[in-house]
Each structure stands twice: as structure tokens, then as C-alpha cells.
């Protein structure tokens, strides 16, 4: 699986502005407009506040007394200056006019600069002009300032603009709540649209999955030329279900289908449909499929569909929960397409066993494609893709790297290369060497080294424990090949014995399982031989061994006493509450027999481990002593110490591959499992 290229343009679909991208500039513009209007209005009437307001009768009296000069008349007011100071007079009840005084007894004066407010079109304007003309007082007539009128209108509308701005900001903030508006926004689909014409991902970007790509090529042909298949009565597939472990490239394959076909690609996670309000998930499904059908041909990709597609009626609650409504809507939408709506639903999951049967029937997900871990050839192609931007030293071999990564997915390989590059950078290297890849592989599979060191007593006991594991892996043919053993604390383990298979294995025999059991219990057996007592360090070993034997007895029929019968335990079912109404399919006596068989097989495996280590006590002591001194031993060092392993002898006798101990990168289990010792 190739890494999906980083394309920032894909995060912002074409013709879809980034949400809130213009809001800061728009807000600044409105604020600056408000300030400009206020400044202009203040500057446009600098003298208005300095003139006192008088009545028209007072103005008329002073005109007749020839006490007015510099008169200006417009459609809104009359302004001018008094020649001499004028005291305000008021008429008493007797009809006599006297000067008006303030609280201090001083006479009240009219302002030297005055203004008289009038209304446009009022007869007062004509009367004032006639009055001034009759008294031979010069005056000027000023037309109305239309710019001031416009500014006045703008100032009057300014509160409305501010309210609209606040409402718009609130609406946009509201639409971001839980992927949609507070009410109507809930029903909007959270799916992201990726335009196929913006750095499209194609099958050339997907390495190591040739068989899967050939199966998906037909889907691409459907999307490119649907009429070609409809001509003979065929219908476009409704859905494709990609099944496989995490990191194998299911999402990348779905995007490559869209890139190859050149159609819009809508991506959404199964968990994004579910919200706190009932009916939201179904509404989002309707909105997503409506958008996809409006832009058909298109692809709808639902990642982790098991989050919403689990089997209905399997829990403790009723059948009216939000998840089941969402699933019902998905089933309805997928079965409602017409031939003219070329929309293909691609879904990915690593739990196909929990999906509802209605999803898997023909007409919904017609194609089930398994995306498994890559083979040797596929891993080689993946390494070549991911090291394109990594400067490599001359000692790096892509073939050895691919052979040493059995069972790793594309994501695992990318992580391994990244760790190697980071480690080489910390060492101030200009290139990444093979030893950097080995360090990265050990760090990923065995865990990072811890700072604390074991005291002498604990170190010796841990060395015996790990030597027991290592020696049994060296001597028993059913155990995977030993690669490295260490007593340096890594991760949660005090010591680690790492075994690596030759190549991918799809099956395992009973004899190999019994060898593995002896290997798992080898550390406990070594402690028993050396100290004649047991420690708590074998807790993880016992847990792994018991789980394996329980499967051997109850599911794989590897017990003569139980026979070829499957006794699956209800606790292994993924649905809570499914078995609460079902009776157990076997009796208490059978359960007791199962427990007895599990204990018998485990006792036999533990005794076998003790017998093998006792017969090779000298080798056990040699490996333990060397571990205490060096703290870490590779397969080459163990070969020099106690001779070749049973795996090397078998290979040499069969002449498959000449024996050659290497400190390089031999095979890795699928998935890689390093024996770890819990603290």
C-alpha cells in the first residue's frame, strides 16, 4: 500500500470557499465604515454646535430693529450674527415687556451667533426672504447639501447593518455546532467532498495489492461507461465492501477508484452519522445520498461502517434507537437507486462478522473484497514507494527489508521507515543504513528501551527466563525461528525473546501448536529448573497459553476426550445481550470436562518444556551466562555459542536455502508477535 500523497488542495474542495474565510475582512470593513461616517458627519457641520437656537419671532424682531447681519438661508435653517447684544424679553400679565433674568438676577442674552430651524418647502423661507428684503438686509441662499442627506441616510441605516452582521456571525457559528445548524443544520451531512481533478489518487499510487486492484478495475469501468453494461441488461453494482485488518489501504483504494474513474468522492465515517438527537443520523444519510445522486456518477465512501451497521436487535435496548434508524435509512437509500443514478457505495471495515445481514445481501453490497496483508512481492513494492524521499546507504537491501517484514501492513512499513529515518537523523547521519532499519524494527515490535536497569538478582532470573524461551525456540521445529533475545527492559517487559517466521502462514497443525505451548511455558520451566521455585513474571505466558489451549479444545477439536465438537463460549460473541434469552448448548459436566482437558494439555506442555531444558541444561547455562554479560544476543551469536538451530539444520538437509545466519532482517510473523514478559 502506498502512502497517500499530501495534497492540501484536497482539504478545500473546488468552488467551495473555506468556511468563515471572508468573515474577519468583512467585519473590519464594517467597523471602518462606521468610523468614517461618524468622522465625516462631525467634520461636515463644525459650526452647528457653536450657534444658539432662537425662535423665528425673535429673529423677525431683530431684523426689524436692523440688528442682523451675515444671514444665510437654506432649506433646513437660517443662520446669522447679531450686530449688538440683545437681552431676552418676556411679556407680563399686565401686557408690559420686561427683560428676562436668570437665577442670579442677571439678564439673559441671545447668542451672538444664532440659528433658526425651518422645514424645507415651508412658507417661512419665503416670508424670511421678503422680510430681509424689506429691511434692506443682505442675505445668501444656500442649496441643500445632498451628500449630507446621503450620509444621514447611511447613519440611519447603520444600526440595521450592524444587526445583520451580528445575525450572520451567529448563524455561521450555529452551523458549526455538531456538524450542522442548531436545528436545520443537524440534518446536513458531514461528508467531505474530494474533487477527482485535484491531484487524483490512482491505482499507480497503491502498491502491493495487485489482486484487489484487478477486482476493483471493473467498478472503475462501471463508473466510466455505465451504459456499456446497461446495454446488455446489467446494472451498476450498488456497493463494494472492503474487508481487511487496519492499515492495509482500504481508504486509499476507495479514493483510487474515484481517481481512476474521475468522479466526485464523498468520504464520511460511520460514527459521524450518530448524534444526540433522534433522527439526526437518518437525516444526514438522506442528505448525503441526495448530494451524491445530484452529482452522479459519484462514490460514497463510508469508513468503519461497523459503527453504524451492526446487527439490529442484538443489544439490551429496544429496536428504536438512533443507530438502528440510521442503518435502516442506509439500507433504504442503497436499495432505492435507479439505473440512471450511477452512485456506488464503498464501505470499509475490519469487523465484517458484526454487520447486519441486510447490508451484505445482493442489491446492497454486491461485492465483498478482502484487502489482506501484502505478500513478499507487495511488501517490496511498498518499500520502494515509501523510500523514494529517503536517502539510503549502499548496504540497504529492499529484498531483505521485504523478507524481514512478513505480516506487516502498508501502514506498518511506513512507520518502520519513518522510525529508521528519525533514528538516523538523531545520529547525525546523512543516509539511512541497514542498522537503522533494524533498530526501528526492534523498537516497533519489542518496544522502546527503558532507562532503569535490573539489579543483579533480577537480571539473572530474567536471563534464565528468556534463555528458556530462546532455547526451546532453538530446539523445537514447530516454533518460529529465533531472531533475538534480550534482558534489557523494553516497553512493559523485563525481557523479550523475539521469534520470526520464514513466510506468511495461513494454517497451523496440532504438533506445531504443542511446540508453541512448550515455548511459551519455557521461561517458567527454566526458573523452576534453576531456582526450584516460580515467580510472577510468567503471568503473561500463562494467559497466552491458556487462551491458545482453550481454542484448541473448544473450537479446533484437538482433544481426544472432547472430540470433534465446537463449544463456542457466549462471552466471545461481540453483541451484548444476544445470549441472554438462549440456553447454553452444553451441560455443566461438559464444561468441567473442558476445564480438565485444558489443564491436562497445559500440564503436559509445561512438563515437556522442563524435560527439554533439563536434557540441554548445559546450553541453558551457557545462554544465561552470555545474556547476563551482553544483555542481548542475536541468532548469529547463539549459533556460535551452542551450534545451529533445528530450523537451520532442516533447511540445510532439505537444500531449500543454504544455511546462513544473519544479523539482518529475517522473516516477521503475521501479525508480528514478540514474546514479552509482563512486569
Residues annotated as part of the active site: 466
- Residue 297 annotated as binding site: no
Q: Which of 424, 358, 354, 414 is nearest to 386 (CA)?
A: 414
Strand order in the sheet with 493-500: 632-634, 481-486, 493-500, 674-678
Sheet holding 367-370, edge to edge: 192-194, 265-269, 298-303, 343-349, 239-243, 367-370
Please state, in angstroms and rounded to a whole number, the distance separating the CA atoms of residues 458 and 464. Answer: 10
Among residues 596, 570, 568, the alpha carbon closest in space to that of 582 is found at 570
Ordered alpha helix ranges (H), 616-645: 617-630, 635-642
> Strand, coil or helix: what is 358?
helix
CB 87 within 8 A of CB 107: yes
Cα–Cα distance between 622 and 640 in angstroms, integer?
A: 11
Instruction: Say whether 248 counts as a known binding-site residue.
Output: yes
SS3 348: strand
Spatial distance between the Cα atoms of 44 and 423, rounded to a whole number of angstroms: 71
φ, ψ at 46 (rounded to 5°): -70, -30
- The three-point CA angle 4-360-263 to 5° equals 40
Q: How far is CA 657 from CA 634, 654, 667, in A?
A: 20, 8, 14
Per the structure block, which three cell numbers stand in for 216?
476493483
Grid cell 468563515 in the structure block, residue: 20
Owner of C-alpha cell 461616517: 37
- 251 assigned ligand-binding residue: yes
DSSP codes, 365-413? S-EEEE-----HHHHHHHHHHHTTTS-B-TT--HHHHHHTTTT--HHHH
- Measured CA to CA, the distance from residue 562 to residue 224 in angstroms comes to 57
Beta bridge partners of 239: 345
Is 469 annotated as a binding-site member?
A: yes
Flag whether 279 is marked binding.
no
244 is in an annotated binding site: yes
Cite the beta strand spans of 270-382 per DSSP E.
298-303, 343-349, 367-370
Task: Kindly report the number of other CB atoms within 10 A of residue 292's CB atom.
Answer: 27
Query: Minimal CA–CA distance to 253: which of 210, 297, 308, 192?
Result: 210
Binding-site positions for Zn(2+) read 465, 469, 541
Amino acid at each position: 500500500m502506498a502512502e497517500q500523497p499530501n495534497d492540501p488542495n484536497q482539504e478545500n474542495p473546488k468552488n467551495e470557499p473555506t468556511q468563515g474565510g471572508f468573515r474577519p475582512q468583512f467585519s473590519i470593513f464594517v467597523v471602518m465604515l462606521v468610523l468614517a461616517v461618524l468622522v465625516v458627519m462631525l467634520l461636515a457641520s463644525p459650526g452647528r454646535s457653536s450657534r444658539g437656537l432662537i425662535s423665528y419671532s425673535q429673529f423677525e424682531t431683530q431684523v426689524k430693529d436692523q440688528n442682523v447681519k451675515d444671514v444665510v438661508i437654506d432649506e433646513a435653517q437660517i443662520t446669522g450674527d447679531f450686530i449688538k447684544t440683545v437681552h431676552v424679553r418676556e411679556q407680563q400679565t399686565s401686557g408690559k415687556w420686561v427683560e428676562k433674568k436668570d437665577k442670579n438676577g442677571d439678564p439673559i442674552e441671545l447668542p451672538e451667533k444664532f440659528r433658526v430651524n425651518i422645514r424645507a418647502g415651508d412658507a417661512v423661507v419665503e416670508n424670511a426672504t421678503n422680510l430681509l428684503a424689506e429691511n434692506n438686509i443682505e442675505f445668501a441662499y444656500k442649496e441643500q447639501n445632498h451628500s449630507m442627506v446621503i450620509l444621514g441616510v447611511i447613519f440611519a441605516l447603520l444600526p440595521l447593518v450592524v444587526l445583520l452582521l451580528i445575525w450572520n456571525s451567529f448563524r455561521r457559528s450555529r452551523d458549526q455546532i455538531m456538524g450542522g445548524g442548531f436545528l436545520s443544520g443537524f440534518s446536513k451531512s458531514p461528508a467531505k467532498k474530494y474533487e477527482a481533478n485535484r491531484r487524483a489518487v490512482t491505482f499507480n499510487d497503491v502498491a502491493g495489492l495487485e489482486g484487489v486492484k484487478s477486482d476493483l478495475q471493473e467498478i472503475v469501468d462501471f463508473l466510466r461507461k455505465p451504459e456499456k453494461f446497461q446495454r446488455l441488461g446489467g446494472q451498476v453494482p450498488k456497493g463494494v465492501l472492503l474487508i481487511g485488518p487496519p492499515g492495509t489501504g482500504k481508504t486509499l483504494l476507495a479514493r483510487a477508484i474515484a481517481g481512476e474513474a474521475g468522479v466526485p468522492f464523498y468520504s464520511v465515517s460511520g460514527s459521524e452519522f450518530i448524534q444526540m438527537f433522534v433522527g439526526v443520523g437518518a437525516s444526514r444519510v438522506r442528505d448525503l445520498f441526495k448530494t451524491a445522486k445530484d452529482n452522479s456518477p459519484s462514490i460514497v465512501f463510508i469508513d468503519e461502517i461497523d459503527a453504524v451497521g451492526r446487527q439490529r436487535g442484538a443489544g439490551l435496548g429496544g429496536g428504536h434507537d438512533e443507530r438502528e434508524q440510521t442503518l435502516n435509512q442506509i439500507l433504504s437509500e442503497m436499495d432505492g437507486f435507479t439505473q440512471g443514478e450511477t452512485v456506488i457505495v464503498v464501505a470499509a471495515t475490519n469487523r465484517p462478522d458484526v454487520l447486519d445481514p441486510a447490508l451484505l445481501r445482493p442489491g446492497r453490497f454486491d461485492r465483498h473484497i478482502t484487502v489482506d496483508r501484502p505478500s513478499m512481492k507487495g511488501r517490496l513494492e511498498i518499500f520502494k514507494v515509501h523510500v523514494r524521499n529517503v536517502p539510503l546507504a549502499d548496504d540497504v537491501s529492499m529484498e531483505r527489508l521485504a523478507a524481514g517484514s512478513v505480516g506487516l501492513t502498508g501502514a506498518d512499513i511506513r512507520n518502520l521507515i519513518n522510525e529508521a529515518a528519525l533514528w538516523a537523523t538523531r545520529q547525525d547521519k546523512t543516509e539511512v543504513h541497514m542498522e537503522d532499519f533494524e533498530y526501528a524494527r526492534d523498537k516497533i515490535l519489542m518496544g522502546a528501551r527503558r532507562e532503569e536497569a535490573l539489579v543483579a538478582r533480577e537480571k539473572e532470573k530474567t536471563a534464565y527466563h528468556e534463555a528458556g524461551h530462546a532455547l526451546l525456540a532453538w530446539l523445537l521445529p514447530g516454533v518460529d525461528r529465533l531472531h533475538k533475545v534480550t534482558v534489557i527492559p523494553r516497553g512493559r517487559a523485563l525481557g523479550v525473546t523475539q521469534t520470526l517466521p520464514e513466510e506468511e502462514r495461513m494454517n497451523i497443525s496440532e504438533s506445531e501448536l504443542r511446540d508453541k505451548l512448550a515455548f511459551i511455558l519455557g521461561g517458567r520451566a527454566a526458573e523452576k529448573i534453576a531456582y526450584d521455585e516460580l515467580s510472577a513474571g510468567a503471568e503473561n505466558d500463562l494467559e497466552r497459553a491458556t487462551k491458545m489451549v482453550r481454542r484448541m479444545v473448544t473450537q479446533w477439536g484437538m482433544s481426544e476426550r472432547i472430540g470433534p465438537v465446537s463449544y463456542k463460549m457466549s462471552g466471545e460473541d461481540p453483541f451484548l445481550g444476544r445470549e441472554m434469552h438462549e440456553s447454553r448448548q452444553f451441560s455443566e459436566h461438559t464444561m468441567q470436562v473442558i476445564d480438565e482437558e485444558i489443564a491436562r494439555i497445559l500440564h503436559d506442555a509445561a512438563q515437556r518444556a522442563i524435560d527439554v531444558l533439563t536434557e540441554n541444561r548445559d546450553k541453558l547455562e551457557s545462554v544465561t551466562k552470555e545474556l547476563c554479560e551482553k544483555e542481548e544476543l542475536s541468532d548469529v551469536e547463539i549459533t556460535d555459542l551452542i551450534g545451529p538451530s533445528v530450523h537451520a539444520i532442516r533447511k540445510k538437509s532439505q537444500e531449500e536455502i543454504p544455511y546462513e545466519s544473519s544479523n539482518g532482517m529475517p522473516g516477521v510473523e503475521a501479525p508480528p508477535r514478540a514474546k514479552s514478559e509482563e512486569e
